[in-house]
Structure 1
Amino acid sequence: MQIFQQTQERDFPHQTLHTDLLVAGGGLAGLCAALAAARDGLQVVLVQDRPVLGGNASSEVRLWANGATSHMGNNNRWSREGGIMGEILEENLWRNKEGNPMMFDLLLLDLAQREKNLTVLLNTALYAVKREGLRITEATGFNAVNETFYHIQAAQFCDATGDGVLGHLAGAEYRIGAEDAEELGEKMAPGDNFGHKLGHSIYFYTRKGSEPVTFVPPSFALQDIEAIPRYKRLTSTLNGCDLWWLEWGGRLDTIHDSEQIKWELWKIVWGVWNYIKNSGEFPDADNLTIEWVGTIPGKRESRRFIGDHLLCQQDIIEQRDHYDAVGYGGWSIDLHPADGVYSRHDGCRQFHSKGTYTIPYRSLYSRSLDNLFLTGRLISASHVAFGSARVMCTCGLLGEVVGRAAALCQQHKLSVPQLAQAEHIGKLQQHLQHVGCYIPRQRLTDPARGAQVTASSELQLSELPANGRWMTLGERMALLLPVKAGESLPLMRFTLRSATSQPLKISLLSSQKAANYCADTQLDECTLTVQETGEYGVAFDWQSDADRYLFIAFESNAEVEIALTDLQLPGIMTVFNSQNARVAKHPRQIVDGDFGAEEFDFWVPRRRPHQVMPAVQFSTPLHCYDVDNLLNGHLRPEQQINGWAPALDDRKPRLSWRWDTPQTVQSLTLILDNDFDNAMETVQMGHAARVTPHCATHYRLWADDTLIAEVEDNRHSVCQHILPTPLTVSHITLELVRSAGAVPAVYSLNVA
């Protein structure tokens, strides 16, 4: 029994925490920042004002996380985010390929709880900060669940709150709304008619039962469905989360008017559902019910803080590579009308760049303060550039960047801005790549410390044998193959057939930028006459000026069929000149005005299990899986495959790294294939398999004659093995015991 006598007043408990880094915000950006810093040795406190982690990707909002792969709907090949964001996507695929948002919550909480250097404060809202000069020294939060105040003192701070709560309270410079076109020369800058901010959305789930379900709308439901100009797009077959365009609030204060925006969105959702259930237009909706509606909106835009570089439209469209590039994006510049669902504009205006673009470190901290990192959707970017960089997998990737940066700043006694200096930034770029964070058009220097590497075999590509299946060339299709500088493709023989004599044009295409996959440049062409079933030779008189991928593009002819193969190979794929309706309205980017973007074709793959590959024979083998690729510092296919794969008949694939002088080794990080082109959206969108076919699922790692690791259920592309005590070794051996069903590939062994 506890008895509390009457008193004049009481206070709630106060706790003071001392830490190296405070991360404010537990969405994907904040979680990745906290995990990265903790893994690099910092003591970290992660403060989240919600009961779960994940932000817009959590079960509270249920938006799928996506990034540079853009639903596999643009020309960004092998662009899925690496590092911790990639680890989350791969682990979620393994545990939760069905896309259950509750299971995604569980995964994120599990990752946070197992990290020994990380303290997580859920249900805790920050409301005050203390500063000394240009440094934040303390932030205070309150947890209404346990009625406790937390005073968190730290050396460094990271704002990943989405709304920039920490930066706002600390007085850092920020912007809300869109820049005028003249300020940065951005031709996509919206005018007043389109509006200057993106709104919120609330999602819902439906379920079909065995009996009719009655729906009685609430009094606040939207009555006039025609107030939504696009209401005729509504169907009873769409999941509520497909209706992302049920958006509103861009004309309001997207922070302080959030409750008003939420009520309007509830009004819209229940009005839409009333129309679907009770208008009589959708008889197949009789047995449908809503089983979940979001209680908080998914927010797109609010404060954007100012760093030493303001990411802008030209950075994205021109794919500018910055000296301090530490991350990247690849989603389209995706701007929505401020009036949202009530607008007569289309739900979004999307323009893609021709490939991925890099994001500089200078956009990831506040120029107002010496110890405030920025990540997530409040980085230093214009409204237009924000339209691309705001998506969650990009935010998660940038979270890891600032977490790793925080550790380096402490290790080298640098302020947050000082790390951006040319003499320091290389430390961060190399460290990120060493732990598996791919940065486009960069490489890791000497990943294996000068080792010589040998293999039990090498795959030499001489044939993709026919399997007896055929596919009609009803749309433009291309085989994507790498070629090295100074080399040409050999004579290729494809198996074709047609009932009547048919012309078939085949083009050799590539990209103006060697690292792109845009097929915007024609190099050569030939025309075949196809009739009876046979092998048809294709040769091109062209020599490459650089390492690059080439498209062997077949024009559409529905009267011609091509033989297919069962053989799947890493770094080689078939793409189609078609559209993915989630991110494009046409198989070609159409620019209907002076927006500063280019028109080009989309060449997109098909999702598993619907991928196909043509059968082909090469007059001389392609040597694209050379074991020396393991030393070139490239962590995935880009301009070349950059990986090693064993010969098809090698039943015990093995690699060995050897040094003339024994090396002291503390950790070994393997970079394996896990199909970096495969989009792994986190929730709602189910996936065909728990791991992609080329992943090495069972391997052994030896140091000299000592087995240091055997992994039998691997599902990750980045596999770090930290040794309990450093070992002095002369060679490291990797045995690949089993893959997930296709030829495995290895890209690097990073030795530390």
Structure 2
Amino acid sequence: MKIKSEVYQVVVCGGGLAGFCAAVAAARQGARTVLIHDRPVFGGNASSEIRVTPHGAAAFHAYARETGIISEITIEERARNHETIGENGKINSVSDMVMYDMAVRTPNLTFYLNTMVTEVEKSDERTIKSIKAIVANAETVLHIQGDIFIDCTGDAIVADKAGCEWRWGSEGFDEFQEPHAPLEASSDTMGSSIHFRAVNMGRPIPFEAPEWAIKHENPDYFYKQGRTFYELESGYWWIEIGVPWNTIYDNETIRHELTRHTLGIWDWMKNKDPELKEKAANYALDWIGQVPGKRESRRVIGQYFMTEHDPANNVVFPDEVAYGGWFIDLHTPGGLLAPTSEPASAEGYAETSEYARKSYCGPYGIPFRMLVAKDVNNLMMAGRNVSVTHAALGTVRVMATTALMGQAVGIGAAIALDKGIAVHDIYKDAIHDVQQTLLRDGCFLPNIRNEEVRDVASSAKVSASSSALVYGAGPETEDFTFGLRTQREKNIRTTETEPLAHRRGQWIAVGTETIESLSFCLTNLTNTQQIVKAYVSAINHIWDYRTIPGEPLAEVELSVHANAQSVWVNWPLQLTHGRKAGTYIRLDLDSNPNVIWHSAGTAIPGHTAANDMGAGRMRRYKRDGGTLSFRISPPQPAFEPDQVITGVTRPHGSTNVWRSDPNQPLSQWLALEWESLQTLSEVHLTFPGHVYRELHNYGPFYRDPQCPKQYKVEAWVGGRWMNLANVVNNYHRLQKHVLDQPIATTQIRIVVEATNGDPSAAICEVRCYT
């Protein structure tokens, strides 16, 4: 065996999305970093080996998609990839290569694939000195010494070998009184899954299952136990097995059993199910995964132990470094061997059931202390092995959330090294630096905004060539925001006839002191007059889901005449609301099942909608959250230039985006002017797009139309505009322009010459560093 000894500052073990983002983040901050991964490709569950689409907060909350390094990866993947991705089974090697390319191009980063950690050496009881790893098929043993170690192995291999305390299975209800906890503690964990891929061959394709495959004869196993066939082309998360086997030690047994079940399920679809066998007649199996995707194993105890109560109650942490928004998604122990599948699926993903109300949460903050091992001085973790209860793991375990954790610990490690402090002291001595660095590098934190002293943009006067107004939108409105909805979804939303079975609300950004009137497009399903009660309320932010958010600013009862079809009902409001320009009010209509409130034909950026789910809270309306039909007078200047210096880079407390008047042709510009001379060395720009919905809602070769495609950055020098940067073919959210030499100026401007399809130029944030 060849033996290699190497020394690094940061050693990251595990190259799934959490570990990959941790390693790239640490290296970008200047730390000498090595990434050790036991598979041939990066990505973990999101790789071409397992093919799970990364999920996150945007599955349930509009404008909640994760940004930062994970966003760079997914934006690039969609721009390069020909594949239409879905729920599972369609991630291909293009995704692998996007990550591989990023790793190769990242300075200060060394990586070893096909390399398994086998031993941990400690210099004392609480400090890791090095790890030992074996490179498969290379007869090479690595001795890797480091200052800080980050365990992103999922199974917490490093933490376990370092002697850290960890938990396994479910806490009992008595320990933390968590609503999702079983009465008694147990060793039960969520199981592992494999997926399959099928292709339509255009002609009947027979299938004969091998003798050792599971045989299914009873349709109740699927249709009465919550195992739904939501598409034919790719496999289902409920192809899952854990208990009675151990998800670590019995991994190979689980893999074999999952393979038997997958072939048996395909046999049922192809040969036995009366309806599916006709639909699947032309389909052939193309791929079956042979690397189980794990959901749960060891959970390492950290400086803070998160329980279900934290995400459920949106607890605000002073050391917030990431966020989540997936529901508390606890799969039934045993999976395919259990009487029913996961509860939400078993009840058809009902949105107003008791289980749905109990499970819905977020977006909520995640504390840094949850990512720091309590028993070892120089160990952090990110991924599904973090310091949470079994119940809390149900929401934090999804990959887009774990990627944010990874970037946080990577940046935390580099800052700790730079400041010469222990990782245990980061939360009290350097958390502000970690948070501000995360924001600067494209991340979003729900309760933190840009406060960097070096960024002088916030002291500038901001102006623009034009600004868009919000007039509202109706069913007939053409879609000018493009990438927010597909044409099919637009057609469904504008033709749907869902009654007002529950109270429903529409977020509206305001800009004038007084609202003269509001109106909304309604249909009366009866031949008698109907009464609809309407409210206007002050809202804290775009995820303020309180059904009754305090005393309303105004309320009224309005009549809808008999048999009315798509009529605009006017409310002469004359309301002076006292809200700051750019912030939100919410227009609610109370429930009346005899009335339809029609959706708009477009989604106005930052204008989302929600439905009452009971127990005093709302949830995103439908799959995309907006926009319902409304008209507002006067039109609202909700996208003014100063929205680019709010310190937030997506719709939240306000719209946080400048948009030019879509009726005026490009080019359009936005300018920052200071009263005194500024010497600038960097200009950072954040553009809109890629935050409204989850990744799998975006098609092949996708480039968000809202994002500027061609733009230039100019500075006013010597009585003329001097070009600082000229960019073509852009499709990324974050662009950092480091100037060749500092420029002394009193003005800069960004000129958007072309977008990727939107008639409006748009910018979320401008930062100017001295």
TM-score w.r.t. length of structure 1: 0.87
The answer to whether the Cα contact below 8 Å between 1:564 and 1:613 also exists between their aligned partners in 2 is yes
The answer to whether the Cα contact below 8 Å between 2:62 and 2:620 also exists between their aligned partners in 1 is no
2-structure distance, mates of 1:533, 1:186: 46
Q: Deviations over 1:101-136 (max 9, x none)?
A: 221112111111111221121101111121112221
C-alpha spacing 1:137/1:633, structure 2 compared with 1 (3 Å): same
Match of 2:569 among 497, 511, 536: 536
Following superposition, the deviation at residue 468 of structure 1 comes to 7.2
One-letter code aligned to 1:410: L
Following superposition, the deviation at residue 399 of structure 1 comes to 0.8
1-structure distance, mates of 2:246, 2:5: 34
Following superposition, the deviation at residue 141 of structure 1 comes to 0.9
- The residue that corresponds to 2:606 in the other structure is 571
Match of 1:50 among 22, 39, 57: 39
C-alpha spacing 1:420/1:354, structure 2 compared with 1 (3 Å): same
**1:461 is the counterpart of 2:470:** yes
1:441-460 aligned within 5 A: 441-445=447-451, 447=455, 448=457, 450-460=459-469
Following superposition, the deviation at residue 55 of structure 1 comes to 0.3
Following superposition, the deviation at residue 488 of structure 1 comes to 6.1
Match of 2:509 among 482, 485, 490: 482
The answer to whether the Cα contact below 8 Å between 2:171 and 2:185 also exists between their aligned partners in 1 is no
- The residue that corresponds to 2:767 in the other structure is 750
One-letter code aligned to 2:711: Y
- The residue that corresponds to 1:550 in the other structure is 586
C-alpha spacing 1:114/1:502, structure 2 compared with 1 (3 Å): farther
- The residue that corresponds to 1:581 in the other structure is none
The secondary structure found in structure 1 opposite 2:705 is: coil
Does 114-123 or 46-55 show the bigger shift? Answer: 114-123
Does 59-68 or 598-607 show the bigger shift? Answer: 598-607
Match of 1:105 among 87, 96, 101: 96
The secondary structure found in structure 2 opposite 1:602 is: strand
C-alpha spacing 1:345/1:525, structure 2 compared with 1 (3 Å): farther
**1:691 is the counterpart of 2:703:** yes
The answer to whether the Cα contact below 8 Å between 1:311 and 1:382 also exists between their aligned partners in 2 is yes
- The residue that corresponds to 1:673 in the other structure is 688
- The residue that corresponds to 2:725 in the other structure is 709
Following superposition, the deviation at residue 230 of structure 1 comes to 3.3
The answer to whether the Cα contact below 8 Å between 1:61 and 1:296 also exists between their aligned partners in 2 is yes
Match of 2:260 among 259, 264, 267: 267
Does 711-720 or 403-412 show the bigger shift? Answer: 711-720
1:614-633 aligned within 5 A: 614=629, 616=631, 618-633=632-647
1:254-653 aligned within 5 A: 254-279=247-272, 281=274, 282-284=276-278, 285-349=280-344, 351-421=358-428, 423-445=429-451, 447=455, 448=457, 450-462=459-471, 464=473, 467=476, 471=495, 473-476=497-500, 478-483=505-510, 489-494=515-520, 502-503=529-530, 505=532, 507-508=534-535, 514=541, 516-518=543-545, 520-521=547-548, 523=552, 524-530=555-561, 531=564, 535-540=568-573, 543=577, 547-553=583-589, 564=600, 569-573=604-608, 575=609, 577=611, 588=613, 598=615, 600-606=617-623, 614=629, 616=631, 618-651=632-665, 652-653=667-668
**1:656 is the counterpart of 2:671:** yes
Q: Deviations over 1:351-404 (max 9, x none)?
A: 444531100000011111121111011111111111100000001111111111
2-structure distance, mates of 1:66, 1:140: 33
2-structure distance, mates of 1:740, 1:504: 44
Q: Deviations over 1:475-521 (max 9, x none)?
A: 3465321248x966441244667796753625336588655242511
Q: Deviations over 1:238-267 (max 9, x none)?
A: 337452112111333211111111111112
Does 119-128 or 271-280 show the bigger shift? Answer: 271-280
C-alpha spacing 1:237/1:288, structure 2 compared with 1 (3 Å): farther
C-alpha spacing 1:293/1:509, structure 2 compared with 1 (3 Å): farther
- The residue that corresponds to 1:3 in the other structure is none
The answer to whether the Cα contact below 8 Å between 1:458 and 1:647 also exists between their aligned partners in 2 is yes
**1:185 is the counterpart of 2:177:** yes
The answer to whether the Cα contact below 8 Å between 2:624 and 2:693 also exists between their aligned partners in 1 is yes
Following superposition, the deviation at residue 438 of structure 1 comes to 0.7
The answer to whether the Cα contact below 8 Å between 1:159 and 1:372 also exists between their aligned partners in 2 is yes
C-alpha spacing 1:289/1:532, structure 2 compared with 1 (3 Å): closer
Following superposition, the deviation at residue 621 of structure 1 comes to 2.9
Following superposition, the deviation at residue 90 of structure 1 comes to 1.8
Q: Any stretches of 5+ residues in structure 1 without a counterpart? A: 1-11, 578-586, 590-597
1:162-177 aligned within 5 A: 162-177=154-169
Does 501-510 or 633-642 show the bigger shift? Answer: 501-510
Following superposition, the deviation at residue 672 of structure 1 comes to 1.3
- The residue that corresponds to 2:74 in the other structure is 89
Q: Deviations over 1:43-98 (max 9, x none)?
A: 2111110001100011111111010112xxx3x23111111112222222222262
1-structure distance, mates of 2:186, 2:122: 39
1-structure distance, mates of 2:335, 2:28: 41
The secondary structure found in structure 2 opposite 1:588 is: strand
The answer to whether the Cα contact below 8 Å between 1:435 and 1:669 also exists between their aligned partners in 2 is no
2-structure distance, mates of 1:544, 1:661: 33
Following superposition, the deviation at residue 235 of structure 1 comes to 7.1
Following superposition, the deviation at residue 137 of structure 1 comes to 1.8
C-alpha spacing 1:128/1:726, structure 2 compared with 1 (3 Å): farther
1:102-141 aligned within 5 A: 102-133=93-124, 134-141=126-133
2-structure distance, mates of 1:237, 1:352: 22
The secondary structure found in structure 2 opposite 1:437 is: coil
Following superposition, the deviation at residue 26 of structure 1 comes to 0.7
One-letter code aligned to 1:313: E
The answer to whether the Cα contact below 8 Å between 2:711 and 2:750 also exists between their aligned partners in 1 is yes
2-structure distance, mates of 1:259, 1:228: 29
Q: How many pairs were matched up?
A: 710
The answer to whether the Cα contact below 8 Å between 1:669 and 1:718 also exists between their aligned partners in 2 is yes
Following superposition, the deviation at residue 750 of structure 1 comes to 2.1
Following superposition, the deviation at residue 655 of structure 1 comes to 1.5
- The residue that corresponds to 2:712 in the other structure is 700
The answer to whether the Cα contact below 8 Å between 1:483 and 1:544 also exists between their aligned partners in 2 is no
Following superposition, the deviation at residue 740 of structure 1 comes to 2.7
C-alpha spacing 1:102/1:529, structure 2 compared with 1 (3 Å): same
The answer to whether the Cα contact below 8 Å between 2:524 and 2:560 also exists between their aligned partners in 1 is no
**1:738 is the counterpart of 2:741:** no
Percentage of matched positions with identical amino acids: 28
The secondary structure found in structure 1 opposite 2:121 is: strand
One-letter code aligned to 1:428: V
C-alpha spacing 1:186/1:465, structure 2 compared with 1 (3 Å): closer
C-alpha RMSD over aligned residues: 3.1
Following superposition, the deviation at residue 675 of structure 1 comes to 4.8
The answer to whether the Cα contact below 8 Å between 1:172 and 1:368 also exists between their aligned partners in 2 is yes
Following superposition, the deviation at residue 687 of structure 1 comes to 2.5
C-alpha spacing 1:635/1:169, structure 2 compared with 1 (3 Å): same
The answer to whether the Cα contact below 8 Å between 1:306 and 1:366 also exists between their aligned partners in 2 is yes
The answer to whether the Cα contact below 8 Å between 1:631 and 1:748 also exists between their aligned partners in 2 is yes
Following superposition, the deviation at residue 700 of structure 1 comes to 1.0
TM-score w.r.t. length of structure 2: 0.85
The answer to whether the Cα contact below 8 Å between 1:27 and 1:54 also exists between their aligned partners in 2 is yes
1:70-81 aligned within 5 A: 70=59, 74=60, 76-81=61-66
